[in-house]
Amino acid sequence: MKFAKEFYRILDDNGSLVIDIGGSWNKGKPTRSTYHFELLIELTKMFHLAQEFYWYNPAKLPSPAEWVTVRRIRVKDSVELVIWLSKNPFPKADNRNVLKPYSKDMQRLIDNGYKAKQRPSGHNITNKFRKNNNGSIPPNLLQMGNTDSSSKYLKMCKKNNIKPHPARYPKGLPKFFIEFLTELGDLVFDPFGGSNVTGQVAQELKRKWVSFEIIENYLIGSQYRFPKVYQY
């Protein structure tokens, strides 16, 4: 919460704070900690909760092993909570920047037309339903694997005997929120930079960025994400 006070202080009035926080298990027990939920409640005393997201990683290994693969009394934990917070109830955001390709069925409906009628559910579907909006609005469940094993970052870390960051998230995660919540030239700030995936994506999307990391090895390794700057 000490960090949160500083985040609030420096955040633009129409800016957003996005926190990816994985859940945890109580030590020695097959029960979940409520820490990340308690944190969310505390944060909403200072920020507005714009929306909660969930990152589903289908490639995540079965864990915790004791309860999932040994005793077989739990299923694998493959979803992480992503909290979207803001200073005011109307932060900058535009879901047209993160549209997903239409499904084959939806594209067929747009191409062939749809007869306006009331669905069995009671919803009244009009002719506007077949309008092509260049994609579908994404859900708040973000599915993306995290199987980075041969990137230039890892190869350069190995070549230079630098220990890579052990908990790197896929580029798609910051990419979604940077495109959704910022515009060209906006400033993206990552206070816990790690290997600086966020900074790399922000630069690729032509945003300004600032990143902090207190572990020097991770900071050194992060330079390999910017080959035009770091000459190796």
pLDDT at position 111 is 62
CA distances from 74 to 26, 34, 67 (A): 14, 17, 6
Same-domain pairing of 54 and 81: yes
In this structure, the answer to whether residues 172 and 128 fall within a common structural domain is: no
Same domain, 89 and 1: yes
Does residue 143 lie within any of the structural domains? no
Residue 231 has pLDDT above 50, yes or no: no
Same domain, 6 and 67: yes
Q: Which residues pair with 86 in a beta bridge?
A: 16, 48
In a domain, 31, yes or no: yes
Report the number of distinct structural domains present in the chain.
3
Do 117 and 203 share a domain, yes or no?
no
Would you state the pLDDT for residue 39?
96
Question: Would residue 192 count as lying in a domain?
Answer: yes
Contact yes or no for 111/105 (Cβ under 8 A)? no
Position 32 in a domain: yes
Structure tokens at 117: 């009628």
Run of H or E including 78: none
Same domain assignment for residues 158 and 230 = yes
Tell me the β-bridge partners of 141. Answer: 54
Q: Are residues 185 and 117 part of one domain?
A: no
32 and 110 assigned to the same domain: no
Q: 21 lies in a domain?
A: yes
Yes or no: say if 62 and 69 are a contact pair by the CB < 8 Å rule.
Answer: yes
Q: What percent of the chain has pLDDT over 70?
A: 83
pLDDT at residue 210 above 90?
yes
CA–CA gap between residue 227 and residue 223 (Å, rounded): 8
Tens digit of each residue's pLDDT (9 = 90 or more) over 148-204:
766 888 888 889 899 888 888 899 999 999 999 999 999 999 999 999 999 999 999
The sign of the torsion formed by the CA atoms of 191, 55, 83, 89 equals positive
Range of 74's domain?
Answer: 1-94
Res 95: pLDDT: 97
CATH number of residue 39's parent domain: 3.40.50.150
Residue-level pLDDT at 226: 87
- Tell whether 124 is covered by a domain: yes
3-state SS of the chain: helix, strand, coil percent to 5? Answer: 35, 20, 50
Q: Distance between CA atoms of 99 and 182, rounded to whole angstroms? A: 15
> In this structure, is residue 88 part of a structural domain?
yes
Do the domain assignments include residue 66?
yes
* Same domain, residue pair 113 and 25: no
User: Residue 186: what pLDDT?
Assistant: 97
